Structure 1
Amino acid sequence: MTASPLQNNSNKNIILLVLVASLGYFVDIYDLLIFSIVRIQSLKDIGVLEREMRQMGEYILNMQMAGLLIGGIIWGVMGDRYGRLKVLFGSILLYSIANICNGFVQDVNMYAFIRFIAGIGLAGELGAGITLVAETMPKEKRGYGTMMVAVVGLFGAVAAKEVSHYFDWRNAYFVGGGLGIVLLFLRLGIFESGMFEQTAKNSQVKKGSLGMLLGNKSRLVKYIHCILIGLPLWFVVGILLTQAPEIGRHLEAKGVLDAGSGIMFAYIGISFGDLVAGLLSQLLKSRKKVILIFCLFTLGSCTYYLNYKGITPTQFNYLAFIIGLGVGYWANFVTIAAEQFGTNLRATVTTTVPNFVRGALIPITLLFEVFVKKFSLIPAAYIMLFLLVAIALFSLSRLRESFHKDLDYIEEDAVPAV
């Protein structure tokens, strides 16, 4: 039986949507990680002393994460009230302009402020893209769609590292901004979510209501658990890999561990990890089982890294790839969040959850520094690693399996707390 022209057109639209969402996440990851990759060179060039490098780097990265935190709320609410497409266009325009401005900074405070603005823009990309894909594809296959978004997107880290290798750090920011502007034109052919359009017609349904999300105990607890299962992800990238040069000195590394190379190899690993996690979730018909496996793998690989005395830069790169495999459950993590809530809150949740995980790097960093002062760098990293994985596994145990869940429903205004 041959497919009808309408079915073929629908399939082409879905393929285009997944492609554009994937390329959007590619640019998102490039711009999200470019500071971690060019941190040392850029801070040197604007006059930061070597002894202040780690703390100033944390300050700027935390400002970016604060922008992601605030932007996640802004874009999430807008996505449920005004549509997923508007968020995709608005967010990429903002972070593209911010990244171009980053190429002109001359001092730490301006650097941090512009990364904050870039963070606000970056906050809308992933949540809106995943929401569109999850709502458009059949429930049995949506895991493949979100998997492809993550796999293609995460190679943005490779692009960021390669661009920073051939260009200076200022031009690396210009490239990131330029890629975003180009992507705006590619998005002209994609369509709005049918589930959102149907919900938008009903003026009686509250959309993007933070009161509905936070004012009901059952929803609030579920929402918090969705965030907590992702905590190990950005601790690994934002601290264990970004601070690789400093960690390497404590491990008596045979050479300087390059954070940029480590992040690039880790994100190659994350891409493969997302591919494996996506296929495994389809095979096991479960997202929870896959995240459990990957969290335990993360615990083992990071423990090995923190105990690797005399590590060489080459060994570090290989190990970064393996560590990346372990935290390659990002697509499953975001998909679980999308599947837990109704259409009128889905964009709010799917956009804020990953950005709250990124923003959680701020309190994680502050707590990490407390442990560093008390116990030194490596013991502090151990404590944070075990603590965050334990929290993630507990929260995972509190969420219901959502693999087979039908997403075409809305959250009612008043739902009894359970």
Structure 2
Amino acid sequence: MDYQRKTVVASVAGLTLEGMDIMFISFAMSMIVAHFHIDLATGGLISSITNLGMLAGGVIFGVLADKFGRVRIFTYTIILFAIGTALTGLAQNIEQVYIFRFIAGLGAGGEYGIGMALVAEAWPKNKQGRASSYVSVGAQYGVILAALLSAIILPTLGWRALFFVGVLPVIFAFIVRKNLDESPEWLETQKKKKSPEKVEKGKLTQLFETPRATITTISLAIMATVQIAGYNGLMIWLPSMLQKSQGLSVSSSALWTISTAVGMIVGMLTFGQIMDRLGAKRAFGIFLLASASAVFFYSFAQGSVGVLVGGAIVGFFSNGMFAGYGALISSFYPVEVRSTATNTIFNFGRAVGGLSPILVGYILQNYDMKVAMAYLAVLYVLSFTIMLNLKKSPSKVVENYIERSVS
């Protein structure tokens, strides 16, 4: 049990630091735009480039973690995004900001899937849902931590000092490396291989080894994309939607953001329990259909109470599912390719789903809030349809492929 707790603590802390790092850009964006005299579109590219770095880092470090071990590569990813964040504070032009944020993205993208693989391999199957939910809440802790640090540092020391804080995760990386042992399940797979150097493991091509494996990998990638697209579409645009449609002040929309975030945290912890008790398909089915209904009917909410309560309900269902993706993706792939699969699939969702605010912004500019919310509802229905067709055969296919490569 002690090792199980250690994997959760390490993964939660890693995702918290990652969430903090990513949110630094959001809080410092106006200062960066003003400092480098750039327009908003040029500033917006910072997040897009970070997402691309996450996708690349997810693939690269996922493969490395499957080949050389979880803990070693996990610490390297933390150090890398810490360095990228600290270097951002030294940037002399916007081009350097892009480069340093891509570096930070590489580390952040690698950290998520490796942490989830560690948890999946340490916890029994009937408790992986709740363990995954504990880790996923870390991202929300990171948002809160970034908000507190930004409120303290930005007004007095400026945006550069905020990013210098990003070097602190290096200390955490050394603590993890010293106190967390390698995954026993991963170590066991190494002992079973008579000629480990000949085993084809941790290769990206293994996710597409057969038609069934390809369909499953693509399906999971679409589900992850919908998850990120829904979250970004809601959190980036809903405050301004409500200011316009309900006449809310900025402070009131901030209160909405807090109520929605609280709903998300409760939703994550609840989803993990439901997933362990009812299984992944039922849990995702309930939350996907509930999310589609909640976001659609939320466009008809009236009054401050309706907006706040409705926001919490939307957050509960729409982001509660985030807690299950680590366990869901891990369950489809064996140890030999688990980090590669989790990192590649989820970070693909981050990169593509991160573009959702562009489409939502276009809809709001040309139509209204009801159409925008209907678009998000359709996304959740699409994810629900794809989820119904998921089957567990790909992992067996990959395992057979590995056995053939050994013999």
TM range (shorter): 0.7 to 0.9
Asked if residue 301 in structure 1 is aligned to residue 291 in structure 2, the reply is no
Shift in Å, 1:57: 4.9
Distance 2:72 2:254 in 1: 33
Residue of structure 2 equivalent to 1:14: 4
Distance 1:233 1:253 in 2: 28
Long gaps (5+) in structure 1: 1-10
Residue of structure 2 equivalent to 1:225: 219
Paired residue for 2:123, among 119, 123, 137? 137
Distance 1:104 1:316 in 2: 41
Q: 1:380 to 1:171 in 2, by over 3 A?
A: farther
Residue of structure 2 equivalent to 1:189: 179
Paired letter, 1:86: R
Superposition map of 1:147-186 within 5 A: 147-168=133-154, 169-175=159-165, 177-186=166-175
Task: Report the more deviating stretch, 143-152 or 251-260.
Answer: 251-260
Return the structure number with greater helix share: 2
Distance 1:226 1:36 in 2: 28
Distance 2:358 2:124 in 1: 42
Paired residue for 1:255, among 246, 249, 256? 249
Paired residue for 2:323, among 311, 318, 331? 331
Residue of structure 2 equivalent to 1:410: 399
Give the share of equivalent positions with the same residue, in percent: 23
Paired letter, 1:206: E
Paired letter, 2:184: G
Q: Describe the SS at the equivalent of 1:140.
A: helix
Kept in 1: contact 2:136–2:322 (CA 8 A): yes
Q: 1:225 to 1:96 in 2, by over 3 A?
A: same
Superposition map of 1:395-406 within 5 A: 395-400=386-391
Q: 1:180 to 1:111 in 2, by over 3 A?
A: same
Q: 1:207 to 1:262 in 2, by over 3 A?
A: farther
Kept in 1: contact 2:204–2:341 (CA 8 A): no
Paired residue for 2:284, among 291, 294, 302? 291
Please report the RMSD computed on the Cα atoms of aligned residues, expressed in angstroms.
3.1
Q: 1:141 to 1:252 in 2, by over 3 A?
A: closer
Kept in 2: contact 1:155–1:267 (CA 8 A): no
Q: Describe the SS at the equivalent of 2:118.
A: helix
Asked if residue 61 in structure 1 is aligned to residue 24 in structure 2, the reply is no
Residue of structure 2 equivalent to 1:8: none
Paired residue for 1:361, among 350, 353, 358? 353
Kept in 2: contact 1:161–1:260 (CA 8 A): no
Shift in Å, 1:411: 4.9
Distance 1:377 1:182 in 2: 48
Long gaps (5+) in structure 2: none
Q: Please, what TM-score do these two structures have when normalized by structure 1?
A: 0.83
Paired residue for 2:337, among 345, 366, 369? 345
Paired residue for 1:211, among 188, 191, 205? 205
| 1:130-189 deviation per Cα after TM superposition (whole angstroms, max 9, x unaligned) | 1111112222223332222223453221111222222214433333x1341231132021
Paired residue for 1:235, among 229, 232, 238? 229
Distance 2:235 2:251 in 1: 9
Distance 1:192 1:58 in 2: 39
Shift in Å, 1:324: 2.4
Kept in 2: contact 1:133–1:142 (CA 8 A): yes
> Across the two proteins, how many residue pairs are aligned to each other?
393
Distance 2:26 2:308 in 1: 16
Distance 2:262 2:392 in 1: 28
Q: Describe the SS at the equivalent of 1:241.
A: helix
Q: Please, what TM-score do these two structures have when normalized by structure 2?
A: 0.85
Task: Report the more deviating stretch, 251-260 or 185-194.
Answer: 251-260
Distance 1:263 1:36 in 2: 14
Task: Report the more deviating stretch, 199-208 or 17-26.
Answer: 199-208
Shift in Å, 1:221: 0.8
Shift in Å, 1:210: 1.8
Q: Describe the SS at the equivalent of 2:137.
A: helix
